[in-house]
Every structure is written in structure tokens, then in C-alpha cells.
Amino acid sequence: MKFLTSDFIFVSTTAVVITTCSVLLYADFNRKIDAGNLKQIGTITFKKEVAQRKYQTQVVWEDVEQNFPVYNNDAIRTSDLSEAVIHLNDGTEINIDENTMIVLAALENAININFEHGSISASRGAGATGADIYAVNIKSLNTTVSIDKGNIQLSQSGGQGLDLKVSDGEAKVLSGDAETIVKANEKAIIAPDLKETKVQKLNFILKEPQANRYIITGTTQRDVNFQWDVEGKFKDIKLQISSDRAFAKILKTASVSSQKNVSFKLSEGTYFWRIVALNEDTKKTEVSDTAKFNIVYKKAPRIVSPTNNESLETAGNLHSIFFRWADSENSGNYILEISNDNNFANVIHSINTPLQSIAVDNLSSGKYFARVKSTLSISGENFEFTSPIISFNVEKQKEIFPPKLLSPGYGAVLDADILKSKGIVLSWSSDKSFKAYNVQIAKSDDFNQVLLSEQRSVNFMDLPKSLDKGKYFWRVQAVVSETENTSFSKSSAFELVEREKLVTLSPKNGEAIKVPADRTANMIKFMWNKIPDKGTYSVIIANNPEFTKPRVINFKEESSGDISIPESGQYYWRVILRDSKGREIQKSEVSNFLAEVEKPVEKPKTFLVVVAPVRGAKIYINEKFKGYANVKLEVNPEDKVNVRIVATEFKEFTTTLKVPEGEVYTLRPAMEKSKLLQRIKWVNPLSSPLSSAPVYNGEKIIACSENGNLTVMTEEGGILFSKKIASGIESRPAIFNNNAYIVDTDGVLHSVSIQTGKINWSVKTGGPVLFKSEPLATKDMIFIATGKGIIEAYDHSGKKIWSKDYGESVYNTPQIYGELLIFATDELNLYAVNVKNGRKKWETEIDGRVITAAPLILNNYIYFGCYSGTFYSLDADDGDIMWTYKTGGPIFSSPVAFNKSIMFGSGDGFIYSLEVNTGKLLWSFKTLKPVKVSPIVAFGNLIIADEYNVYAINPSNGALVWQSGLTGKVKTSPVMISDGVVLGLQNGEVVSVRNSIVQVVK
């Protein structure tokens, strides 16, 4: 007999919870935007990554979103790789670069902007509308920069003074007692001691794209036109484009001596450009200032509900239709338009909303067309994107059907004690066109003897607590109007019974237990009865009846378990059964027992003596330093002992041994003479950067480049062959039976021999595989998860087996669990589908996109991280969330497992190690830069890279083993080869890094 107690405890409070949460949500929303009597002076029109604001009267920073209001005396700050754009009420636009903080203050006739460090730009053109605002003043380091009309960029790094550039209009600089006017195309450098302000004429004028320009595009790539002017005599003029401000990673260099404009096709991202030229008079190379611009890829919204050509039936004459649409980030507002023609000549509803769903009332029967427009305003430009048009039909039901009974389900067995103590709720489907509902409860299914008949205005009712145990039937009829009712619904039945109690069995209440001496555990077997309800049994143990500081041990559906007791004493225990959501189903009574732990029998002592062969050698026992040259210590004969001896110019000696009980064992090892090698073994510059991590297979390194080349290399860095496969590749190759399976940016799947480079076959798929993810090759099939949301399976001859369009883009590598294919989408869902036909088994909503990272499947659980910074553990069988852990930055890293830990990197610059079953933090390691690639476990170490460094970390405790800097920015995850790791840099280099730099010479 199955009880549904937990479900009905939940259902019985649903109405109250919904009402309360709605009120609290409304209050929280208003609290978030309510600034009391403060004056709104602007709006955040664009936000990238992490931006926060703090009211003058608060000490807590809160995350801001697009279209958030900005109030007088607000502080705004940005994080790494983050930006924000503020549009002030007078028309001034403030662009805040990464790692910048400002405070905005509106005065009587001016706006003051105070900032300590970072970089901002201010643009105040002829369209400024503040009648009483005569100037914008930017203050830092006791220096004030004022602009009336113009466009300036200002940067300041702690203690380094101010750097001001004026691209339009003019700015007045008040530094100390001196006042300086800086005109268009001039640059001022203000010394940190305020003693000098140098004004320089700019020889290079970067006209387009202007600094801090945002280029919005609806395609994955966009032609960008570059324009500039040169003042003076210069030759060998070059234009450079980089993905970082320091130009460590130069993406393009073009010789432009005879030109003043040029175009390049660029993808979404942040870019920096400059002009480099040789001054013919001074014979020195000069570099222009740097202009930053962003290409923002913005897809048009897509209506999800109703679906195209859907017919919607409701009971009344006027209908309420719910609309929902999907959209990418950065939309400012939405306009839902509904028309009775597909040209929208007669728009009957035009609704503005900041939300992505809305209900539209009062639609009569007929055919309609709908579309959604999203708007985005940034840098003085307005952009509009329109969804594809859908059509739908609204019809009045020919037959008005009665409500559907929802809960309890037919044949449900309910706990009579729960009914009397907490209550149970009946619920049924609702329709806005229904005026009321008539509810009947009877003892027989023919309803000849109705025990209760009640009319309700809502779609739920409390079950009367006076009902006795037994079987009951119930049904519901809807009141359509004063003269019309529906028929009664099909009846449902439930039974009220007295349920089985959860009871502790062993140790029994009041029992005295003798526990044999055990140096590691002192285990006692705890037992309880297993009741029909499914869930997790939590055994709660404490040394006091109030259960302060208890131990909690969970067992999934077991009825017994061994638990250790730390010492002799009185203990109290009970068992709680919880459902998959952690809600309490039932709790046992408290039992107590007296535990007497026997004292261990004294054993003879055991010693280990280590004598090093080299004078001054350091001796480590179990990773702890114990002394030089000669060490003696007591050891446990049951434990393995790790011995490590370190001496200058000798190869490190390590061994693991056990010493027999009661003996004194002397270890006298020999050590080998050695020399140190360079950590970087070799570097091979390719013609284009790797698109993703290489693959090591059969002593070969197989890699794909951004320019569409497949390159096969030896372990020593020699190129066996390099072949052009496609115009561009973003995905990683999948290797099976000496063939590489590659999906290019045009969505073509290639099978290529890694022995010869011969293309076996090519087939057009449903879309490209993006963001360094890869196909999944098994012995029977090749699975493709595309950026267009199409999931496909092919055999090894290129024949398509099945294809499924989920309509949600996939940016990660799928994984297989049994008969299930696991992948995540940009609509914040994790799916499990059948590998044979693509049919969905389950889906789970998550709080962020999974980009690049491949889920890790271990012991029936799925582990992965999201762009939101949340790391998840899910049950692979049903998608239930087991635990989550929140980091401070986006997670692009695929996790790896070591013993009972899960490890991964985050954009907040930390490597995390979490306990596999609970998500508890075991250790974290701070890197120098954000981590955007995945770790590997190799040579007993965790090896991972940040932007410019490779680290080897002890996976047991997070201690640094070694670290090596690189000459360029890291592009790919490291891959293990025989004596180290290989990874790709953004400058096109492939680098081999040794794990051990010790070479034996004697």
C-alpha cells in the first residue's frame, strides 16, 4: 500500500503558500527597486557579465540587470570582463569598463562622477536635454574633468595618474591650482602628484569603430569597417586587432599604408584596435591609443506558446490566451502584437512588457496572427528585432467539458492522522470562464448517498476533518452561467487509513551495548522498519535528548546501516523519512542507548628507520618533513607508509611500505644522480590557433585549428601532416578506430583518417558544433548536438540514424549514460533522451547555460557547471537535483573526479574540490587569472591552466606541486601525453609542458 502523505502535506498548504509567496515576491521586487525618496537620475541600458550597485544608505552590493534605475548617490562597480552603460536623464551616456567603480551625484546644475580606478567614457552630445544641467564633472585624485558637450575617455590605475582623451568637443581639466583645456583629438596625461598636466596632439585619430562602440548583429559574424586619419609623415602603417587591451593576443594585422579604411569579418566578442606606424622624422615606431568595441550577437525572439497553427479551445465566449517567448539576453523591452491578418495591417492588441510571458484576455473566436518585437537601446542607437509570425485559432468548445480532478489521484491512500492534524486538499483544473464549482463527496460511485455538497469559487477545497476511515468518491461540476452547468466530472476515489508508523528497532530504547575496540570506527548497526513511502531515511544521533549538534547520516531506502560511535556514553537517536525534495514524510519516536566502547589491547610498538644515502637529504614521511639524513619514528603496522627523500642534484626517491607489527625496519635506499630540464619541452607555432583541446591517440597529437586545418603531430612536436578540412572549425575532434570525426562551422560532419589525412566521407548535419564542444563517437554511433538545437545520430558510414529538433541551442558536449544521451541547452534545461531514437526521458531546469563544459557521469550521477557559476549534481536516472554549489564566476570547465572528490575551475579564479556525495567544499586553490579551460588528472596531479599559467596541484589537499608561465594566452584545455601535457595558445602556438623536470644522468 502506497501512502502519499508528503504530497498531501504539500497540497494542503498550496493555496496559502502561493498567496504568501506572491505577496513576498511582490514585496521583494519592489524592495529591490525601491530607493525611498531618492531621485532617479538615469538607467542602466546595457550590462555584460557582473555589474553591481549600492545605495548611499546601504552597505550591501546588489547585482543589477538591464533597465535597472540609477539613483542619486548610487555607487556602481563592474567585475572582470564586465561592462555597463548608464544613460542619464539629461542624455549623457556613461560607459563603465571592467574593474571600475564610480559614484554618481546630481547637484543643482551639474552631475558629478567620482571614481577611484578603472576606465570610463562619457558622451554628452547636442541631444542632451537637461535644462539645468550645464556640465558633467568627473572627479578622481583631486582632479576634475568637466565636459559640456563632447566625448571623452578617462582611465586611472592606482597611483599611476590619469589618462584623458578627447575625441569630440573639449574638456576642462582642473588639477591642483592649474586649469587646462583639452580639445578634440588631444590627449592629456595628469601626473599622480598633480604637479603637471601634459597635453599631446594625437597623430592617429581612430574614427570608426569609435571607442566603446557596441555593434549589434543578428548574425554570427559581421563585417566591421575601420576608419582612421594620420597626422604627420608616417610609413609602414599597420592596423592591429586584439582580443585583449594589452595586445598579447593579436587576432589580425593588416598593412594599410595606402588606405584609411578597411573591413574585416568578425564574430561576437570584445575587441581592441590600434594603428602602428613608423615616424619618418624620428625613425621611431609610434602606437595610437587603443579603441575598444563590442560585437553583440542578438537573436530575434521566438514565440514558444501558442505554437504555430495551434487551435485553442475554451469554455466562454471571450478567451484568455497565455503567450510565452524565448529570447537572448540584453533585450530592453518587448512588444507583443496580435492581428487578424498576417500583414499586421489591423493590430488589435499591442502590449508593452519587460517580461517574456503575458496573458491576453477578451479574444473572441477566430484566427489570429502574433509576433514579438524586442528592443535594445545602447550608445545612442535603437535596435529592434522581430520574431517569426505565428498563427493560431481561438474556438469556443462545442461541448463544455467538466473540470479534471487533479489531487488526490484515483485510488490514493491517505493518512487519516494527517487529515485530522494538518488537513488534506482536493484540487481540480480551473477555467476563467467558469463562475463557480459544485463539489460532491459520497460513499459509493453512483452518488446515491451524497455526504457533502458544496459550491466553491476556487479550484480547491479542504477535505472535512470529520471524515472517518474508509473509501470515498468525489466529483466536480462547473457553473458556466446562472442557467448553465457542465456535466459532473468522472468520479475519483480515495481511501482514508491509519498508516504504518516509522519505528526504531536497534539499538532498542534503553539498551546497553558493548562496542568492541576499533581504532578506526567503533561501528554499531542501526535498524528501523521500512515503510511503503519512498524517500531517504535520515538517522539523527546526538549525546543529548534536545539533539543539539547532532550527526545526520542518510540512507536511500535502506532499513539499516553501520554508524561509528566516537566514545562511550549515553546516546539518543531517531529516524526521519524525507521525500526527493527534502520534505519530512514521517518521524520516529526517540530512542536512547548506552554505549560502552572497550579499551584497545596494548600492542608492541613498531618503528621505521630511514637512512638516506646522501648527506643533508630531506626525509618526508606521508608528505610531512621529518628530518635530515637519518629518521626514526613509530608507525602503525596496519597502515601503508609513504617515504620520500629529496636531495640536491639527485632524483627524488619515493616508496610505499608496511612494517610488520613489533619490528624495527631500516630502509637504506640508493639514489640516482640527476639534472633539471626546462619545464617547457617544445613549442610549435601553427598557421592558426587551435579551435579546441587536442586529442592524444596512439602516440599522436590530433588537433583542429580555427582556419579549418586538421593537424597530426608526434609527441616531440613534429608535424606528420596538416590538411585543410573546412573553412572554419570550432569543435574538438572525436577519435574512433583511427578516424577523426569533425563538425565544421558550416555544420558539415567529416570522417578523416588520422593516418593519412584522407577524408573518408562528409555529410551535412543540422548545424555547427560550437564553443570547443565535440561530437560523441561510440562503437555504433556518432552523436551531434548542434548550436541550432538539433540532436542527431549517425553510423560510422555517415548515414543518419535519427534527428530530433529541440529548438534550444546546445553549446556543450553530450555524454552517454546507459541508454540515455545527456546534454544541456541555452534555454536552461538539461535533457536525457533515448540514444536509439532521441525521445526525451526527462528534463531538469537549471539556472544557467552550460558552455564548452561536458558533463561528468560518475556512479549514476551527473556533475556539471553553468555560466551562472552554479555547479550541479543530478541523479542520472530521473534528473533530480542532489546538491548544488555556487562559485563567484562562470564555469566553462568540465569536472574531473579523484577518489571521492569532484574538481573544476571557475571564472572567479579558483579551482574547487567538492565532496562527491554532498557538494561540501574540500579545498580551493586561487590562480592568478580566471580559469576558462578544463582540468585533467595526470601523473597523480590535477593539471589545469588559467589565462597565462599551467598549474599542477595535489588533488588530495590542493597544494601547489609546480607552476609554469606561458608566453601567450591559453586557448585550450591541457591534454595528457606520455611525459607531460599539451595545450594550445591564442597566438597559434602548441606547447608541450613536462610534468617532471628531473632527468637521471647516473
Q: For residue 209, what is its C-alpha cell?
A: 569603430
pLDDT: which is higher, 351 or 44: 351
Same domain, 101 and 192: yes
Q: What pLDDT is recorded for position 28?
A: 45
Q: What pLDDT is recorded for position 21?
A: 46
- Tell whether 975 is covered by a domain: no
Q: What pLDDT is recorded for position 141?
A: 67
CA dihedral of 756, 760, 762, 765, whole degrees rounded to 10? -100
Q: What's the CA gap between 691 and 128, in Å, rounded?
A: 45
Continuous H helices in 367-445: 416-421
Q: What's the CA gap between 907 and 910, in Å, rounded?
A: 7
Same domain, 39 and 181: yes
In DSSP terms, 572 is beta-bridged to 542, 592
SS3 percent helix, strand, coil of the chain, rounded to 5, is 5, 55, 45
458 HSE (CA, 13 A, CB side)? 9
| CATH number of the structural domain spanning residue 136 | 2.60.120.1440
- Tell whether 455 is covered by a domain: yes
Contacts of 52 by beta carbon, 8 Å cutoff, 6+ apart: 61, 62, 63, 64, 76, 77, 78, 79
Q: Report CA 763 to chain centroid distance, whole Å.
A: 32
Is pLDDT above 90 for 365?
A: no
Is pLDDT above 50 for 22?
A: no
Same domain, 461 and 382: no
Q: For residue 588, what is its C-alpha cell?
A: 520516529
Model confidence at 4, in pLDDT bands (50, 70, 90)? very low
Q: What's the CA gap between 628 and 411, in Å, rounded?
A: 77
Contact 495, 408 (CB under 8 A): no
Q: What pLDDT is recorded for position 654?
A: 92
Q: What rounded mean pLDDT belongs to the chain? A: 86
Nearest to 257 by CA among 280, 241, 282: 280
- Phi/psi at 128 (5° precision): -60, 130
User: Other C-beta atoms within 10 Å of 882: how many?
Assistant: 15
β-pair type (856-858, 861-865): antiparallel
- Tell whether 650 is covered by a domain: yes
Residue length, the chain? Answer: 1002
- Tell whether 875 is covered by a domain: no
Q: Residue holding cell 610505499?
A: 656
Q: What percent of the chain has pLDDT over 70?
A: 92
Query: Which helix (H) or strand (E) element contains residue 204?
Result: strand 204-208
Domain stop point among 567, 597, 627:
597
Q: Residue holding cell 521586487?
A: 29
- Give the dihedral sign, CA 13/15/19/21: positive
User: Other C-beta atoms within 10 Å of 325: how many?
Assistant: 22
Nearest to 100 by CA among 75, 73, 137: 75
Is pLDDT above 90 for 259?
A: no
Q: What pLDDT is recorded for position 36?
A: 59
The secondary structure of residue 892, as a DSSP letter, is -
What value does the mean pLDDT take over residues 690-708? 92
Q: What pLDDT is recorded for position 30?
A: 42
Q: What's the CA gap between 410 and 539, in Å, rounded?
A: 33
**Cα distances (angstroms) measured from residue 111 to each of 125, 162, 754:** 15, 20, 64
Q: What's the CA gap between 76 and 905, in Å, rounded?
A: 28
In this predicted model, what pLDDT tens digit does every residue of 718-767 receive, in sequence order?
A: 999 999 999 889 888 999 999 999 999 889 999 999 999 999 999 999 88
Nearest to 573 by CA among 550, 556, 596, 595: 550
**Cα distances (angstroms) measured from residue 565 to each of 479, 510, 562, 593, 639:** 63, 17, 10, 12, 22
- Tell whether 843 is covered by a domain: no
Same domain, 442 and 552: no
Is pLDDT above 60 for 267?
A: yes
Contact 515, 507 (CB under 8 A): no
Is pLDDT above 50 for 428?
A: yes
pLDDT: which is higher, 374 or 915: 915
Contact 88, 40 (CB under 8 A): no
Same domain, 192 and 252: no
Q: Report CA 466 to chain centroid distance, whole Å.
A: 51
In this predicted model, what pLDDT tens digit does every residue of 218-258 receive, in sequence order?
A: 888 889 999 999 988 999 999 999 988 888 888 899 998 87
- Tell whether 812 is covered by a domain: no
Domain count, the chain: 6
Model confidence at 674, in pLDDT bands (50, 70, 90)? confident
Q: What's the CA gap between 188 and 164, in Å, rounded?
A: 5
In this predicted model, what pLDDT tens digit does every residue of 819-870 receive, in sequence order?
A: 999 999 888 899 999 999 999 999 999 988 887 778 999 999 999 999 989 9
635-643 own/partner pairs: CB under 8 Å, 24+ apart = 635/606, 635/607, 635/608, 635/659, 636/606, 637/606, 637/661, 637/662, 638/519, 641/608, 643/608, 643/610, 643/619, 643/667
Same domain, 56 and 141: yes
Q: What pLDDT is recorded for position 121?
A: 84
The secondary structure of residue 878, as a DSSP letter, is T
Same domain, 471 and 413: yes
pLDDT: which is higher, 279 or 155: 279
β-pair type (310-314, 390-396): parallel
Cis amide prior to 209 (ω within 30 degrees): yes
**Cα distances (angstroms) measured from residue 648 to each of 111, 218, 407:** 65, 61, 76
SS (H, E, C) 677-710: CCCEEEEEECCCCECCCCEEECCEEEEEECCCEE
Nearest to 958 by CA among 910, 994, 916: 910
Model confidence at 491, in pLDDT bands (50, 70, 90)? very high
Query: Could you tell me the residue range of the domain that residue 263 belongs to?
Result: 208-297
- Tell whether 680 is covered by a domain: no
Same domain, 153 and 221: no
Contact 301, 329 (CB under 8 A): no
Is pLDDT above 70 for 14?
A: no
Q: What pLDDT is recorded for position 157?
A: 56
In DSSP terms, 223 is beta-bridged to 265
In this predicted model, what pLDDT tens digit does every residue of 941-998 receive, in sequence order?
A: 999 999 999 999 999 999 999 999 998 899 999 999 998 999 999 999 999 999 988 7
Q: Report CA 333 to chain centroid distance, whole Å.
A: 25
Q: What's the CA gap between 920 and 897, in Å, rounded?
A: 14
Is pLDDT above 50 for 49?
A: yes
In this predicted model, what pLDDT tens digit does every residue of 509-532 receive, in sequence order?
A: 999 988 877 655 788 899 999 888
Same domain, 145 and 284: no
- Give the dihedral sign, CA 239/244/250/251: negative
What value does the mean pLDDT take over residues 445-466? 92
Same domain, 544 and 667: no
Same domain, 309 and 247: no
| CATH number of the structural domain spanning residue 346 | 2.60.40.10
Nearest to 151 by CA among 379, 434, 429: 379
Q: What pLDDT is recorded for position 303?
A: 92
Is pLDDT above 60 for 126?
A: no
Domain stop point among 499, 527, 555:
499
Contact 108, 132 (CB under 8 A): yes
Q: Report CA 539 to chain centroid distance, whole Å.
A: 34
Q: For residue 306, what is its C-alpha cell?
A: 501558442
Q: What pLDDT is recorded for position 740?
A: 94
Domain stop point among 644, 672, 700:
672
Same domain, 454 and 311: no
Contact 996, 961 (CB under 8 A): no
Model confidence at 211, in pLDDT bands (50, 70, 90)? confident
Burial 411-436 (b: 16+ CB within 10 A, else e): ebbbbbebbeeebbbbbbeebebbee
- Tell whether 767 is covered by a domain: no
In this predicted model, what pLDDT tens digit does every residue of 555-580 receive, in sequence order?
A: 988 899 888 888 889 999 999 998 88
Is pLDDT above 60 for 23?
A: no
Q: What pLDDT is recorded for position 175?
A: 79
